[in-house]
Amino acid sequence: MATRGPGWLRQVLRGRGAAPEPSPADWPAGTRIERDVPYGPHPAQRLDLYAPAGAQGCPVLVLVHGGAWMLGDKAQPGVVLHKVRHWLPRGWVVVSLNYRLLPEADPLQQADDVARAIGTVQRDVQRWGGDGRRVALCGHSTGAHLAALVLADVSLAAAHGLQPPQAAVLLDSAALDVVQVMEGAHLPLHDRAFGDDPVVWRRASPWHQVQQALPPLLLVCAQDREAATQQAERFALRARSAGGSAQVALVPLSHREINEHLGQDDGLSRLVDDFLAAQGLP
């Protein structure tokens, strides 16, 4: 297996050239933006909040970015732009969060950050017109792994006063059963993230941490990513066996496109909208 370094990964994440930062004209009219709201003492423990004009009692969409546990940012246009433009006019508050990255923090610490951030949102979002009882969680790639781990590991919820989100959308993660990943052929990025200790693999594995029914799940996979599809179907079966509901959807988009296209007027956005509506959101 060829070894690919961080330079290759950055090219995959960024695509051809860096996207320009959104301008005020890119956001829906009247959008209120609060940047770098702290949810912890570390400089990376910050979130951005986007609220529609006159927001009151709005459901809340919490976004967790990807980046192989070592890259990515909450304000990247591919993470937030189309999602804000899609969901704010529909009466949602959108929150995008950062977390500590490798090598400073491992995936277990990153999941702790995500849980802390969601707990903070649930307690404080009312001041921006959101309803902390009506939260949907959405993670892409690494962010989907961290979101799934937060949902599955009850100790994280207990540590941060987190109430289960009303629904979760997991976008194209290939690391939901970390033990299975690490025991098979895998990329060097997985070694950087999870190391060589099987005890850590199990603790960082959402599949192994499921102890009770999870919130309703929609797992979206690129139809040509066999590893992600297998992981999604395995995790969905595990979630259903624990008393929850989970569905897997394959879409004709690449790994990167799933993230960037969500919120644009296409089948993926309708798929997610229909799933959220079936859970009473909004």
Whole-angstrom distance, CA of residue 69 vs CA of residue 171: 15
pLDDT for 181 equals 97
d(CA 94, CA 71): 21
Nearest alpha-carbon partner for 89 in 61, 110, 117, 123: 61
Separation of alpha carbons 214 and 243, rounded Å: 8
- What are the structural domains of the chain? 30-278 (3.40.50.1820)
Across the range 124-142, mean pLDDT stands at: 97
Query: Which tokens hold the place of 26?
Result: 């890119």
Confidence of residue 19 (pLDDT cuts 50, 70, 90): low
Q: What is the pLDDT of residues 98-112, one digit of tens each?
A: 999 999 999 999 999
Q: How many residues are given for the chain? A: 282
Percent of the chain with pLDDT over 70: 92
Angle formed at CA 248 by CA 245 and CA 249, multiple of 5 degrees: 135
Q: Is the model's pLDDT at 155 over the cut of 60? A: yes
CB half-sphere exposure, 222, CA atoms < 13 A: 19
Q: At what angle do helices 107-124 and 142-152 cross, to 10 degrees?
A: 70
Token pair of 97, please?
Answer: 């969060």
Q: For 181-199, what is each residue's pLDDT tens digit?
A: 999 999 999 999 999 999 9
Its pTM stands at 0.92
CA pair distance 265, 270, nearest whole angstrom: 8
Q: Is the model more confident about 16 or about 215?
A: 215
Q: d(Cα 15, Cα 193) in Å, to the nearest integer?
A: 22
Q: What sign does the CA torsion over 81, 105, 114, 223 have?
A: positive
- Which residue, among 171, 167, 169, has the nearest Cα to 282 in the 3D structure? 167
- d(Cα 134, Cα 165) in Å, to the nearest integer? 7
DSSP state of 98: -
Q: What is the pLDDT of residues 33-92, one digit of tens each?
A: 999 999 999 999 999 999 999 999 999 999 999 999 999 999 999 999 999 999 999 999
CB neighbours of residue 84 within 10 Å: 28
Task: Tell me the pLDDT tens digit for each residue of 234-260.
Answer: 999 999 999 999 999 999 999 999 999
**Residue 219, strand partner residues:** 170, 248
